[in-house]
Amino acid sequence: MEPSKVYLLAADAILLLHVLFVAFVVIGLLLIYVGKFCGWSWIRNLWFRLLHLTAIAIVVVQSWFDIICPLTTVEMYFRSRAAGAVYSGSFIAHWLESLLYYQLPTWVFVAAYTVFGVVTAVSWLWIRPRPYSK
């Protein structure tokens, strides 16, 4: 396989990982709230909740300090190595990018991430995770 295709495949894999990360944060929060009303006990799993809270905390802090997501940085690196084709990849990459990247002012993202982080913190307080036990 030629190197440019390897780089493009790596970029697509990073993009997929990025989309899965976003899905975990968004769908995870939705499931926590739905699970509260449906009586699902797994939503109170301490490790799931810690991982979820940490994930959105990282996003919020990055937005406050105007730090570009490392996944985006790595993806762009691989795309640039793939014959300099930044954002002109495969069909799947095109649609995943459409879902993930929007053209809005930075303050919109900072506000949205902060609100999402607050709603996640509220879920921690309102729908308490079970304490860790061995």
Q: What is the pLDDT of residues 49-95, one digit of tens each?
A: 999 999 999 999 999 998 988 998 998 899 888 875 555 555 555 56
pTM of the full structure: 0.84
What is the CA angle 24-25-26, rounded to 5? 95
∠ CA 62-68-74, nearest 5°, is 130
Residue 120 has pLDDT above 80, yes or no: yes
The domain ranges of the chain are: 3-126
- DSSP annotation of 127 reads S
**How far is it, in rounded angstroms, from Cα 12 to Cα 88?**
11
Cβ-based burial of 42 (10 A; exposed 0-12, middle 13-18, buried ≥19): exposed
Determine the pLDDT at residue 6. 92
